[in-house]
Structure 1
Amino acid sequence: MDLILKDARLAGDATRRVDIGIDGGTIVAIEPDLGADGETLDLGGRFVTPGFVETHIHLDKSCILGRCASKKGDLTEAISEVARVKGDFTPEDVYARGRKTVEKAILQGTTHMRTHLEVDPTIELRSLEGILQLIDDYRWAIDIEICVFPQEGMLNNPGTEELMVEAMKRGAKVVGAAPYTDTDPHGQIDHVFAIAREFDADIDMHLDFGTDTSSFDLDYVCRLAERTGRGGRTAIGHVTKLAYAAPDVLAAAARRLADAGVALTVLPSTDLFLMGRDRTEGRTRGVAHAHELLHHGVNCSLSTNNVLNPFTPFGDCSLIRMANLNANICHVGAASDIVECFNMVTTRSAKLMNIAGYGLEVGNSADLAVLDCADPHTAVSELAPVLYAFKRGRRTMTRPVAELHRPAGHA
């Protein structure tokens, strides 16, 4: 074997310890006291998980905080500030900033990523060119797919749809939307589903970003997903309106999403930062309660969204931190729900992206992370650091274990 990870704990039974055998980039054995030759790494009973999965991030506009203002801190300002500076983006600039963010993600144990990428007559395909090169250069550590979408509208922004189609031809794998920025939101959704059919692509939309619960676009998306047979291949992100919905409205929306097979990504850091700014006191959190949606059968993920820009002026690309933040914001205390926060950055995220061969099973790709803890509950509750990560069986990062230096005479 190429590599044997000795004395590992897996999710589901923290008392059981196993060895994980890897050969040719694939998991070939998971059993106690594996009798095989090969390079060995003793994990000392630490927790091994499939690599983290980032379902919703914006590499093209990460790390631009120094170029933008963030005075109001709301969604309108964030969109306008990025629109103001992105005309100066070049492929090289996008590559350099995206590289910083991708390397942060790798150091946090992320092995798969979906980046949402803007095209329109202002930026044209320059960001696409930079990110395509980035994908090639970092394939050794992370698989990245592009979801192309119209941040500033499609039908009200002539030329945007043609650029989206061209981006799909040049390598984008998923098509997205931001209908709340369009003069005809449902028209934009119709066109996005048409592009998805043309390219047999999955769909991932920014949707229902706001506080007004009198209407939701998610119902229209669910109807189209059912009509076009795209259940299981359609996802929506943000849906902050659900954070303001009455319990019966939330339950009805959850049942609708589950029946249609539409998944939902919650972006805790961005939604917490942007929402609630319409009030001077008693400010709302504005983060949809993913665990309540899970209880109704909706597949959900948690993700980073933006890093160091006006949408989110923070970010270290740690999905464990995002899981912990979500648990705090949404008052998640039940042990099973805390574990689901972990699942929403691993197995549930992989399901949302329809990643083949993902998971800690014999025959799957050896895309793994080792955390300095014993189980997923502890990983989330104590923000356990990632010590090692592997992509197709090759180690991609190492973080030394923290160590106390006690003075002499202190036990």
Structure 2
Amino acid sequence: MEAVLAKYENQINAFSEFLEDLPDTKEPVWILGAHYNVKTEKAELLSDVRSRLWFTYRKKFSPIGGTGPSSDAGWGCMLRCGQMILAQALLCWRLGRDWRWRKEGGMPEEYKRILHSFLDRKDCCYSIHQMAQMGVGEGKSVGEWYGPNTVAQVLKKLALFDDWNSLAVYVSMDNTVVIEDIRKLCGKPGRGWLRTGACGWGAPFAASDPVEPGSSQTPGNHVTSCPHSHSEWRPLLLIIPLRMGINHINPVYIQAVKECFKMPQSLGMLGGKPNLAYYFIGFIGEELIYLDPHTTQPAVESEPGVAVDDQSYHCQRTPRRMKALSLDPSVALGFFCKNEEDFDSWCNLVQQEILKKRNQRMFELVEKHPPHWPPFIPPTKPDVQTTGAEFIESTDKLFESEEEFEILNV
């Protein structure tokens, strides 16, 4: 194991272009749909980056599956990046894109609940335990490295068991996003969608309702309206796995990738190098900005009713960068659309900034389901009464393994 870890550390150190200091430039820095001036807004930029949930390798957690590994060091980096892109969707959904983390604590209950769902325990919905074991259904052994498409399929399946958030997860196939299928997935209430109370927290409220004194809806730490009131549109996590070249990324796609980071719906991108995954959250000039999961930290102990020490879940360093042309061609773009209007806006942006301006397109956006494809059937939650890792075995036959659908574009 030490030899394996040393190999990965050497790979990381080989990329000397990862600079710790931001350049002195007039070019804007784009982070998940927001832009900053390095000269005048550096503090705001770093606060934004530090507010993203940062998931890294962990050690000394309970063995996966009871007898499996107790650390994901050396193999879990893409799973951790998958956790980060999903966590960003949940933060946008529950707290809004403008929410900021404070080191001194005092975070809203929604934030605490989101973080808890990613802890390294078998009974947490999006834990490394659940993701690794759900990956078995995708043909991946526990401890095996994942690609972007595989982790996207795992997130789609695990989201079915998350009753609190009820995210609709759509993973595109064959480099094609089908609007009709997304409307079918998001536009009709499914199991666990319409419930009494505001997400289990009290009576429903709307954005126009008055804010109670002492509530968490304050400037810089606001809570959006309840997702289960006044609307039948489920919040959408849209993941688009792509292969933008053969051995290296085709330069014709770089500008389109950058345009995606500018969109308000952006959740960033999964990618990196072979067997070396990063969560990309923005760009400056010709460099991509990313959060790096390749730091091994002890698993955080948690007890019911006790606040989790969240210091290690927020990166305190200046964000790292790499040249866009160094990116591996296999990636997955992420977007979050909180309502139907948000999705319509995203479709318009894609048409204007990605499709009409490019002779060679990263992906296609079509209105109707292709007639030669199998019928689109939105997945539903199985009748399973547990959220522990044992539900993996009971769902093995519910999902059929899906093709990679990564077409080479060169």
TM-score in terms of structure 2 length: 0.28
Between Structure 1 and Structure 2, the one with more strand by share is 1
Higher relative contact order (CA 8 A, sep 6+): 2
Question: Which of 1 and 2 has greater Rg?
Answer: 1
